[in-house]
């Protein structure tokens, strides 16, 4: 595998997905950006679900999930792993354009989904954030 800037004529993911035109290449790049944004969205969804479960069912300090909650958490985690490995596979094409699309999608995804800070922060009764770590 060598670094390349190929746009037309390369196979992408499978033999049936062959880039045959500039517009097909552009569509593939857009798909890579959107896929990377989705990966960041799954990371956010996992944190959001955990926080929601803790606020809804927790007793303030600790929340042990029931089986259905743990199944949802495991599903979200699996989506993160699958998209992460797929992005690694895309990066292994060593195509400069695909790598730029992954970087761009990561930037946009982080910007869109990660407006919150460290999940270990806790809110005090006076509404201010306490930076003490739990556990």
pLDDT tens across 12-54, in order? 787 888 899 999 999 999 999 999 999 999 999 999 998 888 8
Contact 47, 55 (CB under 8 A): no
SS3 14: strand
pLDDT tens across 57-92, in order? 877 666 788 899 999 999 999 999 999 999 999 999
Which uninterrupted H or E stretch holds 130?
A: strand 129-130
Q: How many Cβ atoms sit within 10 Å of the Cβ of residue 106?
A: 16
Q: How many Cβ atoms sit within 10 Å of the Cβ of residue 110?
A: 15
pLDDT tens across 86-106, in order? 999 999 988 999 999 999 999
Q: Residue 112 — φ and ψ, nearest 5°? A: -75, -35
- Listed by start position, the domains of the chain span 21-116
pLDDT score at 52: 86
Here the tokens at position 80 are 């993160």
């Amino acid at each position: 595998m060598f670094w390349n800037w190929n746009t037309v004529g390369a196979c992408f993911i499978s033999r049936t997905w062959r880039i045959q035109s500039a517009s097909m290449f552009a569509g593939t790049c857009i798909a890579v950006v959107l896929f990377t944004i989705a990966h960041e969205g799954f990371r956010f969804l996992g944190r959001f679900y955990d926080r929601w479960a803790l606020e809804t069912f927790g007793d303030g300090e600790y929340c042990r999930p029931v089986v259905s909650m743990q199944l949802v958490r495991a599903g979200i985690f699996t989506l993160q792993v699958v998209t992460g490995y797929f992005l690694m596979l895309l990066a292994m094409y060593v195509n400069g354009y695909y790598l730029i699309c992954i970087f761009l999608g990561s930037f946009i995804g982080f910007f869109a989904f990660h407006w919150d800070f460290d999940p270990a922060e806790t809110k005090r009764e006076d509404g201010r954030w306490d930076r003490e770590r739990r556990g």
